[in-house]
């Protein structure tokens, strides 16, 4: 070993020892039992196991488990068992050691957590969607055994996101997409608000670097103004709280870059029109343990004497905690500058729970104990039910789970006055299934606040709901559109599958009898004629359609077999789709085979025309942040990075994602839609068309404007070269006196 190598080893060792000492110091500062020996033992074991191995970034591999352990300790607040498991989480996967070795050295608890982490290693998602769903099921099943598995997995993902810069661009999009799709919602559901926000921000930073920088810059430019507003707003509040003799601290909470961008996208507004960037957080020490709830409301009463509260924006999460254990009182007050400002009132305990989620409950449980049993158990129970009824399609399975992950709660009352927590946007049918599968499957409607409503009616917080049932009612196909919760969706799908199987076997028997009467055997050639005749995909669809009476076999079907084999058969052959399709697929395959997924694909005018397809779901144009996806037919489809379809593809088929960048020179034109809103007046429409057609020389394809009570809104479809053209058009239209809102929309 040369002198330089020795120096490098010494530097590495020093770096590793510093990181470990910092972890120990942080651990000793917590309220956990001081089990330093076992943590030191786990570190020494992992350090020896990973010796000489480096990460892609060039640093010693052991720094990754140390960083994960540090997140587990400091940001999630877990104890020695979890810290040891985090230090050892890659040992079984990356070295020759087994779970049995870990058990012999560290006991069954740590071994079982490391085993759980090993099972779901390599990211939740494999190369194939089905494998990805299986891995996700494993992940959720391990949650049932020990919630610490998923908490450490989230810490692992957070450190990977913090060091994502050393990965290839296509891997960055896959990992960032996967993080936004699964890990951030999981962190949110487990109450890890800070981690959820950081995961979202980091994903956004890698997927939309320019937008990220732009919003960050604007936040920086408006910081002084925000500080001034914060100080002015909180001065009288501090005076009032001091008079009450409370021990408290007041902080400003600034909306994250990702949530600002999300709001800009969903509301189609610029940064300047987002008014809730600043919120105020009051965190207090309760005067007695039992007075925590009363203190929250006392502070609210004191605030409402200083500023006028918004009557519809009081959120009482104190008496009705969110499903992830979050508690706080949110009130929106009118500041002296004429701006609504949200104030969040929390005790120190509530703040710990908000920052660290279920793990923080341990601090406040008498004699330790495990996680909060209530809502978490309910959630895990729902997931168990879904796992017991496997979905046929991996993507359906993931979407069903995600419905639960993203759930934001409302409170609904039964006729007897019991409170039920339901996800936002849930319907009468969801509520019926949440009570019992039988009630759901026989539901015919409901009385909401004593008024008769249909199954599809969305429920609001505070509604009193009485479900109406009938024994004659059966689950209908259209119910799939009425349900939004994971439980209801999986139940409806399961019942329909069972019914379809029944109809299919009945239909198969009917087709068999029909063919028998015609003296024909039930074989693929005869069935394919009937399938083609009814424009169906396969015999299974035919059996189902016959079984549920959508198709009645008649003389028309008999005539299919009476057609004589003549010249017609041969005439149709060259025009059949199969040969043409096959050749085009072969041609596409050739173009794809040349693509190196590890390199960034240049999108030029020539290859856009010849080889690539612009996705219909999001209509990308040059200048948009985009990525490529190699579909099942080996075609490259270009999607916007924030497109919901692309989000699913990134997290399910990450190996087919290609990093792309535009290299166009304003030769091709693309169709975009601009949305306008404003005050109706003489000549507004004329001015709009003048700007677009004459000043900017852009062709308008379609223009629809509607006026109502002096307000107009409408859409203009026009041809542009790239997103710069769109920005110029939007900026010019915003200069028109009566136009109040201009934005690009999908269609």
Q: Are 345 and 329 in contact (CB under 8 A)?
A: yes
Annotated catalytic residue, options 8, 13, 14, 93: 93
Helices and strands in the chain, H and E counts = 33, 20
Paired tokens of 463: 């509604």
* DSSP line for 68-86: HHHHHHHTS---HHHHHHH
**What is the spatial distance between Cα 607 and Cα 612, in angstroms, rounded to a whole number?**
6
Which of 486, 373, 516 is closest to 426 using CA atoms?
A: 486
CA 622 to mean position of chain CA atoms: 26
CB burial string 617-629: b at 16+ within 10 A, e below: ebbbbbbbbbbbb
Distance CA 199, CA 184 (A): 6
Q: How far, in Å, CA of 492 to CA of 474, rounded? A: 10
Please say if 13 is a catalytic residue.
Answer: no
93 as an active site residue: the answer is yes
Nearest to 458 by CA among 475, 438, 481: 481
What are the tokens at 385? 């039910």
CA distance 25 to 629: 47
The catalytically annotated residue of 26, 94, 101, 663 is 94
Q: Which sign does the torsion angle of CA 620, 621, 626, 630 carry?
A: positive
Q: How far apart are CA 588 and CA 542, in angstroms?
A: 32
For the record, the structure tokens of 656 come out as: 């087919």
CB 730 within 8 A of CB 660: no
Beta-bridge mates of residue 640:
626
What separation in angstroms does the CA of 695 have from each of 472, 487, 698, 732, 735? Answer: 66, 56, 8, 10, 13
For 513, the token pair is: 């009898």
Burial class of residue 719 in the structure, from the number of CB atoms within 10 Å of its CB (0-12 exposed, 13-18 middle, 19+ buried): middle
C-alpha 731/C-alpha 249 separation (Å) is 43
d(CA 264, CA 332): 21
Two tokens, residue 704 = 């629809």
- Torsion on CA atoms 101, 106, 107, 110, rounded to nearest 10: -100
Within the chain, what is the greatest distance between any pair of CA atoms?
100
Please state, in angstroms and rounded to a whole number, the distance separating the CA atoms of residues 390 and 75.
35
- DSSP 3-state helix, strand, coil percentages of the chain (rounded to 5)? 55, 15, 30
Distance CA 8, CA 16 (A): 12
Quick one: three-class SS letters along 15-71? HHHHHHHHHHHHHHCCCCCCCHHHHHHHHHHHHHHCCCCECCCCCECCHHHHHHHHH
Under 8 Å between Cβ of 156 and 392: no
| Token couple for 541 | 């669809």
Helix axis angle for 80-87 and 36-49, nearest 10°, is 10
Cα gap 59→51, rounded to integer Å: 12
Beta carbons within 8 Å of 497's beta carbon, 6+ residues apart: 392
Catalytic residue numbers read 93-94
């Amino acid at each position: 070993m040369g002198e330089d190598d020795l120096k490098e080893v010494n530097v590495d060792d020093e770096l590793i020892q510093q990181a470990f000492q910092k972890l120990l110091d942080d651990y000793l500062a917590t309220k956990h039992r001081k089990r330093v020996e076992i943590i030191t033992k786990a570190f020494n074991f992992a350090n020896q196991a990973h010796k000489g191995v480096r990460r892609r970034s060039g640093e010693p591999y052991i720094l990754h488990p140390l960083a994960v352990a540090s997140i587990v300790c400091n940001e999630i607040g877990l104890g020695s068992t979890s810290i040891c498991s985090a230090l050892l989480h890659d040992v079984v996967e990356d070295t020759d050691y087994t779970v049995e070795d870990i058990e012999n050295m560290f006991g069954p608890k740590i071994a079982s957590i490391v085993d759980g982490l090993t099972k779901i290693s390599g990211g939740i998602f494999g190369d194939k969607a089905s494998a990805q769903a299986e891995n996700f099921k494993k992940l959720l099943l391990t949650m049932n055994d020990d919630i610490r598995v998923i908490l450490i997995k989230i810490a692992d993902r957070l450190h990977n996101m913090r060091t994502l810069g050393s990965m290839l661009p296509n891997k960055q999009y896959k990992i960032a997409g996967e993080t936004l799709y699964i890990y951030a919602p999981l962190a949110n559901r487990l109450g890890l608000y800070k981690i959820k926000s950081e995961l979202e921000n980091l994903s956004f930073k890698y997927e939309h670097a320019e937008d990220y920088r732009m919003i960050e810059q604007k936040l920086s430019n408006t910081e002084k103004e925000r500080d001034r507003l914060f100080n002015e707003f909180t001065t009288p509040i501090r005076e009032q709280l001091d008079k009450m003799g409370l021990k408290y601290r007041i902080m400003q909470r600034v909306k994250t870059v990702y949530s600002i961008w999300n709001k800009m996208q969903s509301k189609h507004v610029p940064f300047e029109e987002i008014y809730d960037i600043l919120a105020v957080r009051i965190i207090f020490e309760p005067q007695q343990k039992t007075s925590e709830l009363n203190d929250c409301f006392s502070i609210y009463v004191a605030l409402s004497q200083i500023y006028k509260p918004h009557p519809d924006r009081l959120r009482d999460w104190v008496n009705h905690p969110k499903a992830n254990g979050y508690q706080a009182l949110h009130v929106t007050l009118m500041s002296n500058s004429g701006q609504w400002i949200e104030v969040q009132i929390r005790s120190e305990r509530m703040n710990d729970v908000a920052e660290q989620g279920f793990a923080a409950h341990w601090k406040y449980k008498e004699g330790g104990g495990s996680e909060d049993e209530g809502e978490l158990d309910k959630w895990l129970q729902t997931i168990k039910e879904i796992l017991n009824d496997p979905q046929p399609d991996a993507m359906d399975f993931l979407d069903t789970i995600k419905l639960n992950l993203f759930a934001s709660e409302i409170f609904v009352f039964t006729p007897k006055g019991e409170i039920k927590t339901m996800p936002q946007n849930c319907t009468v049918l969801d509520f019926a299934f949440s009570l019992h599968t039988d009630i759901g499957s026989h539901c015919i409607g409901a009385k909401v606040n004593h008024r008769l409503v249909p199954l599809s009616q969305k429920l609001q917080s505070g509604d009193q709901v009485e479900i109406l049932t009938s024994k004659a009612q059966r689950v209908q196909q259209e119910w799939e559109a009425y349900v939004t919760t994971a439980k209801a969706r999986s139940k409806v799908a399961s019942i329909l599958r069972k019914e379809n199987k029944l109809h299919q076997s009945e239909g198969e028997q009917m087709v068999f009898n029909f063919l028998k009467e015609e003296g024909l055997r039930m074989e693929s050639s005869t069935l394919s004629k009937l399938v083609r005749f009814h424009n169906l995909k396969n015999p299974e669809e035919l059996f189902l359609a016959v079984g549920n009476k959508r198709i009645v076999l008649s003389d028309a079907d008999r005539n299919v077999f009476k057609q004589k084999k003549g010249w017609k058969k041969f005439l149709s052959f060259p025009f059949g789709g199969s040969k043409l399709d096959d050749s085009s697929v072969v041609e596409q395959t050739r173009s794809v085979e040349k693509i190196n997924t590890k390199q960034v694909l240049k999108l030029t005018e020539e290859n856009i025309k010849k080889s690539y397809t612009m996705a219909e779901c999001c209509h990308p144009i040059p200048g948009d942040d985009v990525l490529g996806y190699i579909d099942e037919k080996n075609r490259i489809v270009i999607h916007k990075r924030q497109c919901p379809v692309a989000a699913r593809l990134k997290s399910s088929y990450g190996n087919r994602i290609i990093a792309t960048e535009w290299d166009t020179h304003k030769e091709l034109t693309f169709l975009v839609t601009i949305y306008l809103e404003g005050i109706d007046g003489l000549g507004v429409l004329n001015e709009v068309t003048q700007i677009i057609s004459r000043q900017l020389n852009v062709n308008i394809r379609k223009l629809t404007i509607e006026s109502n009570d002096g307000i107009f809104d409408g859409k203009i479809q026009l041809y542009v070269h790239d997103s710069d053209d769109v920005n110029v058009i939007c900026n010019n239209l915003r200069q028109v006196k009566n136009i109040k809102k201009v934005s690009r929309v999908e269609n």
